[in-house]
Amino acid sequence: MTTDADDSIRPFEVSVGRDEIDDLRTRLERTRWPDQLPETGWADGTEREFLRDLCAYWRAEFDWAAFEDRCNEFDQYVTTIDGQRLHFYHVRSPESDATPLVLSHGWPGSVTEFLDVLGPLTDPAAHGGDPADAFHVVAPSLPGFGFSGPTGERGYDVPRIADVVADLMARLGYDRYVAQGGDWGALVAALLGANYPDRVDAIHTNMLFLNPSSLEADDPTDLLDEQGLADYQETAAFRETETAYHEIQATKPRSLAYGLTDSPAGLAGWIVEKFRAWSDCDGDLESWIDRDRLLDNLSVYWLTGTIGSSMRLYAETDVGAATPDSVDVPTGHARYPAEVYKTPRGWAEAVYDVEYWSEQPEGGHFAAMEVPELFVEDLRAFAGEFG
């Protein structure tokens, strides 16, 4: 990894200009809507009338000052690591002995997924909790996402991002910490645990990456109990029917990026469908995740023009090669019922040092946004157990 001449850490605030808002509103007003066959609903993609309503709200009613306030509630910064601008929240707890924690998001989320958990994690006493459960929290916008801006060269895969996150924690003065993540962030956490065991006390994930080929069995399904086999079959069915997005983004992300970078309605249609399909909303997304929170996430992608670089991560990352064969630091895993990638526990225990496993009553792929209280409680329980 290269050494940057400028390792300064600079304060950052989100500020949305009037020209940016006016441009977004004009584009939304001039959207050309595709046809939709009667009674097809969400079967072949985002339902048109849902998207019309969401985009009408984004154009006319979304409160940009409130968006700025939500983004700027906690201290955030930018720095440069490995030639890449890196944006991050750094929220220190009032408890001096708090546990350092780094949170890593994935796609199609952003660092806004964590806005509802930063307060309770860092200052539990102010949120009805025990001060002993406090964390100092670092939450970066992964390179290529959001306020970190697009990556500027080839080779920014997930292992390189994990190294950037490790360098960030060192730059902030944390020589020991816990890593947590979901989606791509779960692979970041796994790589931190595998490659930096001298710095990482433990990892906690909402997903678990592993290679079945690395398991010591002629037929890996032989390692599975009844629940594990059901998890395997459910995830296999998801891969067969719901991963066209992955194939496109892993092969021709730029072709798709033209439309999504130019059309806010197109961007919303591509991302919102995933939030509906991957969350525990039972088909009613806005009753489960507040409309403004969905638009916070969309607005970050739109304002920063990073949908293309965020999708490019799929083309850059060879998941099989990137996934570690073993992770030997203490590992906790929270199983949310609507999570679309369910790794069987029997496989997980063959690769990770699983010391904690919780079955959550509700929640899905975007746990910190969907069920922030459960997310916080589980992290506290895990940290209390392994500590």
**Active site positions, annotated:** 183, 314, 365
Spell out the SS3 assignment of 62-76: CCHHHHHHHHCCCCE
Q: Which residues contact 344 (CB under 8 A, 6 or more apart)?
A: 223, 224, 227, 228, 229, 231, 232
What is the rounded distance in angstroms from the CA atom of residue 159 to the CA atom of residue 116? Answer: 28
What is the rounded distance in angstroms from the CA atom of residue 177 to the CA atom of residue 202? Answer: 7
Measured on CA atoms in the order 215, 220, 225, 228, is the torsion positive or negative? positive
123: Cα separation from own chain's centroid = 22
**The pair of three-digit structure tokens given for residue 142, joined into one six-digit string:** 């992964």
The count of C-alpha atoms lying within 13 angstroms of the C-alpha of 217, restricted to the half-sphere facing its C-beta, is: 13
Q: Which residues contact 5 (CB under 8 A, 6 or more apart)?
A: none
The answer to whether residues 366 and 289 touch, using CB atoms and an 8 Å cutoff, is yes
DSSP H or E segment with residue 203 = strand 200-205
Closest to 277 in 3D by CA, of 210, 355, 339: 339
> Parallel, antiparallel, or unpaired for β 84-91 and 135-141?
antiparallel
The answer to whether residues 101 and 137 touch, using CB atoms and an 8 Å cutoff, is yes
